[in-house]
Copies of this chain bind each other. A is one copy, B any other.
Amino acid sequence: MQNIKAIVFDAYGTLFDVHTVVEKCEQYFPTQGKVISQIWRQKQLEYTWLRSLMGRYEDFWHVTSDALTFTLKELGLETNDDICTDILKEYLYLKPYPEVPYALNELKNHTLAILSNGSLEMLNDMVQNAGLREVFSNVISVDELKIFKPFMGVYQLAPAKLGIRKEETLFISSNSWDATGAKVFGFQVCWINRFNKTFDELNTRPDLIIKSLDELVTYIR
């Protein structure tokens, strides 16, 4: 953790809790909220990787919608377009993890940015709805490259937009595969392991592991 000129955050699962959707899912499908959310997230990620590899990019809203469609079919839950749209809209209102607003405020003497798979519209709405827009100097979406993480070129967007070198970038993610991609690319990397998960075996390790974002404050205030 040295010579850091900007802190760049992953959004989904790192700053924002993708399982915020459980409550809305429960409204339509009682008792099924958690399992819907789990399969939905897994498929959403798989579809980003598969579409990227096939060279068949569609934006994150589209992919997230398709993953929800799969999930409800897989669970045999009857649905319709209105229900799917209503559930999908929750992605614009995902809640930050509890410590995130405080921690971001403590880090505000640094340049803070987001680099995410989300489309720019999704990201801006979500950040705005969480009252965090003014915290970030840049909200950067992979959408302009039409390929998802962990394609290496995607990570380059952050130093390019911020006018810094990759070695001067501290990238923060709770997604082990994303932290791996960022490390392979050449960022300094911090993995937030809130839920005692196992780091993926992809031949690399993060520079720092913390259990919640507020811990970071002690390392780089």
> Which A residues contact B (CB, under 8 angstroms)?
43, 46-47, 49-56, 58, 66-67, 69-70, 73-74, 148-152, 177, 180-181, 184, 197-198, 200-203
Cβ contact within 8 Å between A201 and B152? no
A181 to chain B, nearest CB (A): 6
**A51 and B171 alpha carbons, distance in the complex (Å):** 19
A69 to chain B, nearest CB (A): 5
- In the complex, the chain B residue whose C-beta lies closest to that of A39 is B198
Partner of A73, one of B58, B69, B198: B198
Partner of A49, one of B43, B50, B203: B50
Cβ contact within 8 Å between A53 and B201? no
Partner of A52, one of B43, B53, B180: B53
Partner of A70, one of B69, B73, B151, B201: B201
- In the complex, the chain B residue whose C-beta lies closest to that of A72 is B198
Cβ contact within 8 Å between A70 and B150? no
**A43 and B70 alpha carbons, distance in the complex (Å):** 20
Q: Give the chain B neighbours of A184 by CB distance below 8 A.
A: 54, 56
Q: Give the chain B neighbours of A43 by CB distance below 8 A.
A: 200-201
Cβ contact within 8 Å between B74 and A150? no
In the assembled complex, 25 residue pairs joining A and B whose CB atoms fall closer than 8 Å, in A order, are A46-B46, A46-B200, A47-B200, A47-B201, A47-B202, A49-B49, A50-B150, A50-B177, A50-B180, A51-B202, A52-B53, A53-B53, A53-B148, A53-B149, A53-B151, A54-B152, A54-B181, A56-B184, A56-B202, A56-B203, A66-B201, A66-B202, A73-B201, A74-B197, A74-B198
Q: Give the chain B neighbours of A150 by CB distance below 8 A.
A: 50, 53-54
**A180 and B55 alpha carbons, distance in the complex (Å):** 12
**A181 and B51 alpha carbons, distance in the complex (Å):** 9
A66 to chain B, nearest CB (A): 4
16 further interface pairs, Cβ-Cβ under 8 Å (given A54-B150, A54-B151, A67-B201): A43-B201, A46-B177, A46-B200, A47-B202, A49-B49, A49-B53, A50-B150, A50-B180, A53-B148, A53-B150, A54-B152, A56-B184, A66-B202, A70-B198, A73-B198, A74-B198
